[in-house]
Structure 1
């Protein structure tokens, strides 16, 4: 007699394999959140280093500071940029 848990385990393994293949095909492989310094912030925001330092001093951009080391998380910077999206006005033809 076949153990039902073995059948479930095999099916779950097959599902995990299919999901892994789909992620690789779509390029959505989950990666850990990237943490970096001012260069990461410049790359993500397309702002100058001086502007980023100004926003940091005014606490207007998400950042972390440990001693003299300033760091940023890519996901937080992207979310911060998304907050600035302007809403479109529906029904107006431009």
Structure 2
């Protein structure tokens, strides 16, 4: 029998002083909670298109979150095996 799990990632976006910030929060079915962070800034020579700043900041936050999930998995594997662990992206 196969099992399906559902994890939620909430993404929060804000702007301050010409920078766009994003935070991606992962909540799993157990007690795991991880956060990823990203930032984007407008080059003064570029046209201000807020959606692009949002996309860049969110992409960076999700990438950071993915890296943190890999680190958590490596820590869990090490706790079980007591052996060095290397998980690559």
TM-score, length-scaled by structure 1: 0.29
Computing the radius of gyration over CA atoms, which structure comes out larger, 1 or 2? 1
The structure with the greater share of residues assigned to helix is: 1
